[in-house]
Structure 1
């Protein structure tokens, strides 16, 4: 994290912790609540929100323990290497996570839709054109309008690209030992992420009330909201991570040579930027 103490244990092993179990229970409650919410059960929203709050609380205390261990000088170079490998594999798992959704979008759009609209199915669904954004062959989906790239998605693209630049400037300032500049550009990154989420919330309101585009709007609606929604969730988590790092920068926890917490959050944020570029092209333009 922030210090690599030469006198630290060869490999620090923390004592028994309750946080993994509590984290698993909180995530289970979050997903059960989300499943109930999308199925219109009255308690679903409250269970989902409670699960999210519990998960955030677990993360706060769990990472607080890790920060405390780091500041006590218990972490050696081997721990630093472990953190780097762990973060790398975590981001790889996130690549696979989004890859599954991109794969579902590709399959539905490139294979399923043309197949259902071919000549063999004209006798069953004569009015189905097989074009992306259609209401479906059975006609059970309400009419909706698709989401274009202008103006909000394009503005959000500019915001995220700019946030990647400000984060890189902040990192260079940290490596140069300029704590004030590090904090300023890091705060700018968090602010850009918050503005991004504000625009996405406005986009969802616009989609629901003006385009009649919902999660229930066939395969188009489900893939659109799953991809953009999960990306928005990752932006939110990334902004929280960077906010915690900002607090640690202000407290002087990092040195120019030892600041993996900053680097790990930055890796995650740049990953989120790259995923958005893919979303912007595939979801909004194609």
Structure 2
């Protein structure tokens, strides 16, 4: 076997990027179909979700193998991975900024109602007939849940640096449970909402778009932290080498910060 003459990692050809892209397309089409109450949409959503999770499992398995057994993640490679994670989170920030721009436009500069092609009055915010969720009920509870989860994952990182595996695993487990609780409460809020996506126009579009995508990011974060929990139980992290854990922590804190902005502006200030 020829020895490496550089510190960079030349990735082997992999089927997972294109396969995951196809699975995400199926998932997205299934979600659209489900929103239009089509039976095929539910089938596509289940199939796409299952395919994405199955393929990500094997993709991450390959990456872990490269890191642990093939020793491909040198210091230079780790630096490149960190830069890639910075850019990924930056792209996610821009993703939510676009949604918030739509929300602020609808809230602070609403469109006019027209009669005989002439503007009469601006749409109120919230629009007439819309009863927004009480910010100090379920949304406030979820705010406390996410803030608590931010402390548990930070504590898990602290225990990792202290080589306290048992406490680290306990804190990671608590983070996952808090994330699942958040998703359940969000589902209850959707179920009890007085308006639906199809009925309430611009308000519902912004509300379900922002909160829905944030909830999806929480689910992704739960999967990310679950991978870290599994690897921690396998003793694959050390106090000096735990890049996957750092990435999961960054992502989780990003999701928490987005929710703070979401709670303050979407749930609280915009309804008064």
TM-score, structure 2 as length reference: 0.91
Cα 1:273–1:267 shift into 2, 3 Å: same
Q: How many residues align?
A: 264
The answer for the alignment partner of 2:78 in structure 1 is 80
Question: Is 1:241 equivalent to 2:224 in the alignment?
Answer: yes
1:203 aligns with one of 179, 186, 189:
189
Q: TM-score, normalised by structure 1?
A: 0.87
Q: 1:193 is matched with which residue: 166, 174, 179?
A: 179
User: Cα offset for 1:129?
Assistant: 6.0
How far did 1:279 drift? 0.6
* Corresponding position of 1:93: 91
**In the TM superposition, what is the alpha-carbon distance from 1:122 to its structure 2 partner?**
10
Q: CA deviation at 1:59?
A: 0.9
Task: Summarize the Cα distance change of 1:68–1:9 in structure 2 as closer, same or farther, 3 Å threshold.
Answer: farther
Is structure 2 residue 148 aligned with structure 1 residue 155?
Answer: no
Match of 1:44 in 2: 41
Change (3 A) 1:77 1:8: farther
Unmatched segments (≥5 aa) in structure 1 = 1-6, 136-142
How far apart, in 2, do the equivalents of 1:95 and 1:253 lie? Answer: 30
**1:253 match: secondary structure:** coil
Q: CA-to-partner distance for each residue in 1:100-134, whole Å, 9 max, x for gaps? A: 100000111111x2x416xx8699576x6621121
Corresponding residue of 1:256: 239
Q: Is the Cα–Cα contact under 8 Å of residues 8 and 74 in structure 1 kept in the other structure? A: no
* Larger RCO, structures 1/2 (Cα 8 Å, 6+ apart): 1
Distance 2:150 2:116 in 1: 49
- Structure 2 partner of 1:140: none
> Is the alpha carbon distance of 1:157 and 1:248 closer, same or farther for their aligned partners in structure 2, counting shifts above 3 Å?
same
Deviation of residue 40 (structure 1)? Answer: 3.6
Deviations 1:217-237 (A, max 9, x none): 111111101111110000011
- How does 1:1-286 map onto structure 2 within 5 Å? 10-72=7-69, 73-111=71-109, 113=110, 115-116=111-112, 130-135=123-128, 143-207=129-193, 211=194, 213-216=195-198, 217-285=200-268, 286=270
Q: Secondary structure at the match of 1:11?
A: coil
For the 8 Å contact 1:8–1:76, the answer to whether it is kept is no
